[in-house]
Amino acid sequence: LPELPEVETVRAGLERWVSGRVVAGVEVRHPRAIRRHLAGAADFEARLLGRRFGVARRRGKYLWLPLDDADSPGSALLGHLGMSGQLLVQPASAPDEAHLHVRIALADNGQELRFVDQRTFGGLLVDELIPAPDRSGDTVPELIAHIARDPLDPAFDEAAFVARLRRRRSGIKRALLDQSLISGVGNIYADEALWRAKLHGERLAAALTRPAVRALLAEVRAVLGAAIIAGGTSFDSLYVNVNGESGYFDRTLNVYGREGEPCNRCGTAIRRVAFMNRSSYFCPHCQRRPRAIRM
Ligand SMILES: [Zn+2]
């Protein structure tokens, strides 16, 4: 499952290889891949043909490429990779991938942007851009305007995040996974950041001090930043790829997936508990469980 660092690697690849290019042809080979473009394949193709892609952007796990249409603020090609989606830049002569769903031919250089998705939970659409609600002069696709910025976004409002999080009557981990509060923090990175901040995920968000929230946010940024650097190292050829793997997983995980193994800080065995149909990993010594609250 691609998380923010993998998606950022794809965004950087799109910016390098696709931004500035003009769409010379569009072929939708599998309608499910554009099911969220409600006007259908012919409309999807018509709205892309002849348009030039602007600078690639990301919010949470969504990616978009603004289009140079005449209207302002215009529209964008918006994509989500889902469970297994890939955006590949390939020469037109490269054989079709087994699960090639959308092919976008780029003018001038004989290359194609290909959306490949084995499980088809991801997809593409052309969406309207609207003014960003939290920053004048900035735009965001309408469909994802409700998603909060991620903590690596230069416009992320740290003071507003701290204040909003401290009003939450939920556990801190659940708050970190709430896309309307902060985006891009998946299950793995939440567990890693909580371990680094020595906070148990079930601690009540509203009970944390401002300095504790700021320290946690710094650890979230550190974890995501390190993962982006690790993920980015594999991206150095004419190939935009995401497959949920990155070098980060081999080297840097302190708790996630390490049930029963010693904590890298204190040696206590890492614990795993069920959490929202997934798992939470933590060190029971470094990350003390909150005391039961008497009602
Ligand atoms: Zn420990």
Please write the tens of the pLDDT for every residue from 219-266.
Answer: 999 998 888 777 644 433 334 444 434 444 545 789 998 999 999 999
For residue 260, the CA-to-ligand 1 centroid distance in Å is 12
Number of H helices, E strands in the chain: 7, 11
Dihedral sign for Cα 174, 175, 181, 182, please. Answer: negative
Q: How many A from CA of 267 to the centre of ligand 1?
A: 6
Which of these is catalytic: 2, 5, 66, 151?
2
* Stretch (H or E) spanning 102: strand 100-106
Report whether the peptide linkage leading into residue 133 is cis, meaning its omega lies within 30 degrees of zero.
Answer: no
Query: Which residues does residue 86 pair with via DSSP β-bridges, in sequence order?
Result: 116
The active-site residue, picked from 11, 21, 57, 61, is 61
Q: Determine the Cα–Cα distance for residues 118 and 106; give it in Å rounded to an integer.
A: 23
Model confidence at 5, pLDDT cuts 50, 70, 90, reads: confident
- CA 191, distance to chain mean position in Å, is 16
Active site residue 211: no
pTM (predicted TM-score):
0.84
Ligand 1: centre distance to CA 59 (Å): 33
- Over the stretch 108-158, which tens digit does the pLDDT of each residue have? 888 999 999 888 788 999 999 999 988 888 999 999 999 999 998 989 999
